[in-house]
Structure 1
């Protein structure tokens, strides 16, 4: 029997055991071919209620377990990602349309997330506070209880495990709702990993489902924290619902990140960085380079080099060929990408290369010379499209890079790193990468954006994960009951 044997999860959801979901079976499809890879169960709001009730009961014992036990489960989980990497890779490639290098990177990152999270279990959980009274005063971090995680399709493993692993390590239970389009590699795999690692039943549930299922998870009174990764539009709804129910929401949303290319750089190398930023995983990345802002004196050379890179990319089925780009996730997303490209041409942008597709395979596309109001430049595309505009001064570069409602990632290619730091201070973004492209992410580092890209760096890194998945409790203690306590009558005078 293989690690991912479909007989375990066929037409099932996971609530510490594999059971039938009330939403009925949903097909697992391969975007490159349209083939059905299997059938998974789906959850309804009623399933959410049952899973959270079970999570509340299971979380108490999990939080009370010694930190060594929690750390050991996380370490074993990290090892299991690597020992079953070949089988998991195949699912990521076929279900999400990833090229193999990207799939391997997701698996390695998942292992890293689990190993890093294992250290959270023994992390100091408080501090001694000063007090004017003869008592001990301290604060301590306690688990929130049940954490809801809603994860998207584009990096289904990373964008699930980066919340699941630290939340578990800190003593919480987790209910995960993966995107139904990638619910095997973004959900079933995590359930199998933690099941095999020895996580107690009920501490983790995996509930694929539609928007109603996600809404039920957000409003469920047992869920105290929501970690959501997805579009800005959906994130606004999640934030509003969470706020109405007085619970925290960590929102990692969309982006339209700028790559600023300064004068004097190696143009071909800069174009290589820009191509990766725009075309990696078909541009289906929140950090993707959506705006190439290039010094006027090198802009023509940059556009030509970028188009050459785009033209050399192999596009096809990553399960059967060594390609650079796989398929767009589905027809709806492909139609949106193509509509933005067409609208940008109508607005005056030059289609330098690309702009064509075969089934779900969209050619890497370069646009140049259009106005900053052109849709593919002004909006998040989530496809392999690279719009280029030019600037004539550092002040204009700052103005162009800042002229977006998004504020996730910024790349600056330059010959003067210190000048780039000064430039970056004037551009409101959550992440700055000098002499690098915009798609940069590491386990120990905080991740998040400004503006409509989210509510700040709330995910990743030891301190941010502790803040995200615990509550702060103030405790005082005296050696005996004493002090000038006043009576009720005197207190109300």
Structure 2
């Protein structure tokens, strides 16, 4: 690829690189505000073009033998590793990722590709008995057709490809709309990888653009499913449209995840888990440890240990220096985090560590004295802030966890795993991690939340078999039946 004039600067990927009518968009580095590159954007008309091409290509792709699909996905996995330096570079510069975060994201995306490569060879149905003599009942999974994937900017590669790879593996075509802030690493480079892996023309499409492109994708009648990862507010609108159109959708939305520290917890381990869960990628993770619920008897020790870790974290431009925290994605988000902290302090919270913003950079911050009516407790912060709220009993802690309408992830620290498991059974979250932190992802385990954190759909492992297919019942009689009329 010619780095001075990459193909995605003036073309979009409609199964192959093609010209488009949309304007070029600047890719802005969040650390410096400089223009890193330009990308060609799509329009709603391009959504229609992509859907038409995908529908034409889908039947051939679906009937391709399973081993050929698997081989393409394995080649894509290998190419992710081969192009790691370039992909990671763009992840760092576009998204403010640290080098370690970018490397981790690429590794787990590689694992997603390898997992997806195993899906086409799995059993895809069942045989059921019949009350009709001589009838055979087959129930099988079949592709949906065309799947639209709308991906976020915080983990743009992983959170796109965890839907793209299994959707392809199950015989679907895919139209991906990456976030505008991560259209290169989370879109254009993934098109190059899959094209080089040998994916047939027309099976995969990448349409960078704004909300109007996403709306056109959701509303298009030839797009049979939407997989969306992003804010709850946008997810609710997508769910409403899909429901009205009787269209399948998978929504992985926001979170306000609880880190629960019981009175018998190992506080050193708990503080380590808390720092990682709260400050990783500047807290811009749906699974971020956003509420630290701590038993009053150990609160001061926990607070001091967490604050000590926070003050040691270096904030800066990850492209120019080795840092723990890079920039927030843009000024709007940085100001929002600052405003949540300031409003909470005005209501009585105390800044124990951090609390200051410098442009798009925000220090690792620990707040004490946070109560349920404060915004630092009730809102999804999406920034490097650890608000501490006290409780006096397990019952009170359970009530605090369940006070949030979100239900994505939680972590519980206790010397008694039996006690922690009893606690876990009573909280309404999709994922619970005992003596660990909230930001966990394993490609083979189904992932997802409850409440305002998403629909009942799940990503990962065997859940992908059902998530990206629909089903068909076929009954067979060797001879026709004579019915009464």
Determine the structure 2 residue equivalent to 1:332: 332
What are the residue-to-residue correspondences of 1:88-487 with 2, within 5 Å? 88-133=87-132, 134-462=134-462, 464-481=463-480, 483-487=481-485
State the SS of the aligned residue for 1:176: strand
Determine the structure 1 residue equivalent to 2:7: 8
What is the alpha-carbon distance in structure 2 between the residues aligned to residue 422 and residue 21 of structure 1?
A: 56
State the SS of the aligned residue for 1:275: helix
What is the alpha-carbon distance in structure 1 between the residues aligned to residue 20 and residue 344 of structure 2?
A: 44
Deviation track 1:349-391 (CA, whole Å, cap 9, x = no partner) reads: 1111211111111101111112211101111000001000111
- Kept in 2, the 8 Å contact 1:430–1:456? The answer is no
Aligned length in residues: 484
- Kept in 2, the 8 Å contact 1:11–1:26? The answer is no
What is the alpha-carbon distance in structure 2 between the residues aligned to residue 439 and residue 299 of structure 1?
A: 22
Q: CA deviation at 1:269?
A: 2.2
Determine the structure 1 residue equivalent to 2:74: 75
State the SS of the aligned residue for 1:186: helix
Tell me, which stretches of 5 or more residues in structure 2 are unaligned?
none
What is the alpha-carbon distance in structure 2 between the residues aligned to residue 63 and residue 100 of structure 1?
A: 38
Q: CA deviation at 1:122?
A: 1.1
Deviation track 1:226-278 (CA, whole Å, cap 9, x = no partner) reads: 10000000000000011111101100000000010111322222111111111
State the SS of the aligned residue for 2:30: coil
Deviation track 1:374-427 (CA, whole Å, cap 9, x = no partner) reads: 101111000001000111111111111111000000100110011100111000
Determine the structure 1 residue equivalent to 2:22: 23
What is the alpha-carbon distance in structure 1 between the residues aligned to residue 13 and residue 225 of structure 2?
A: 20
Tell me, which stretches of 5 or more residues in structure 1 are unaligned?
488-493
What is the alpha-carbon distance in structure 1 between the residues aligned to residue 329 and residue 11 of structure 2?
A: 23
State the SS of the aligned residue for 1:440: coil
- Kept in 2, the 8 Å contact 1:191–1:205? The answer is yes
- Kept in 2, the 8 Å contact 1:293–1:388? The answer is yes
What is the alpha-carbon distance in structure 1 between the residues aligned to residue 6 and residue 249 of structure 2?
A: 35
Q: CA deviation at 1:5?
A: 7.2
State the SS of the aligned residue for 1:442: coil
- Kept in 2, the 8 Å contact 1:446–1:457? The answer is no
State the SS of the aligned residue for 2:447: coil
Determine the structure 2 residue equivalent to 1:491: none
Q: CA deviation at 1:6?
A: 4.5
What is the alpha-carbon distance in structure 2 between the residues aligned to residue 5 and residue 197 of structure 1?
A: 24
State the SS of the aligned residue for 1:292: strand
Distance 1:266 1:458, change over 3 A: closer
- Kept in 2, the 8 Å contact 1:347–1:371? The answer is no
- Kept in 1, the 8 Å contact 2:92–2:319? The answer is yes
- Kept in 1, the 8 Å contact 2:228–2:250? The answer is yes
- Kept in 2, the 8 Å contact 1:12–1:25? The answer is no
What is the alpha-carbon distance in structure 1 between the residues aligned to residue 372 and residue 127 of structure 2?
A: 53
What is the alpha-carbon distance in structure 2 between the residues aligned to residue 453 and residue 445 of structure 1?
A: 18
State the SS of the aligned residue for 1:308: helix
- Kept in 1, the 8 Å contact 2:266–2:415? The answer is no
State the SS of the aligned residue for 2:6: helix
State the SS of the aligned residue for 1:223: coil
- Kept in 2, the 8 Å contact 1:292–1:387? The answer is yes
- Kept in 1, the 8 Å contact 2:293–2:391? The answer is yes
Deviation track 1:172-206 (CA, whole Å, cap 9, x = no partner) reads: 00000000001111111210110000001110000
State the SS of the aligned residue for 2:195: helix
Segments ≥4 residues shifted beyond 4 Å: none
Q: CA deviation at 1:11?
A: 2.6
What is the alpha-carbon distance in structure 1 between the residues aligned to residue 358 and residue 11 of structure 2?
A: 34
- Kept in 2, the 8 Å contact 1:366–1:387? The answer is yes
Distance 1:480 1:5, change over 3 A: farther
- Kept in 1, the 8 Å contact 2:457–2:467? The answer is no
State the SS of the aligned residue for 2:26: strand
State the SS of the aligned residue for 2:121: coil
Q: CA deviation at 1:166?
A: 0.2
- Kept in 1, the 8 Å contact 2:291–2:388? The answer is yes
Normalised to the residue count of structure 2, the TM-score between the two structures is: 0.98
Q: CA RMSD in A?
A: 1.1
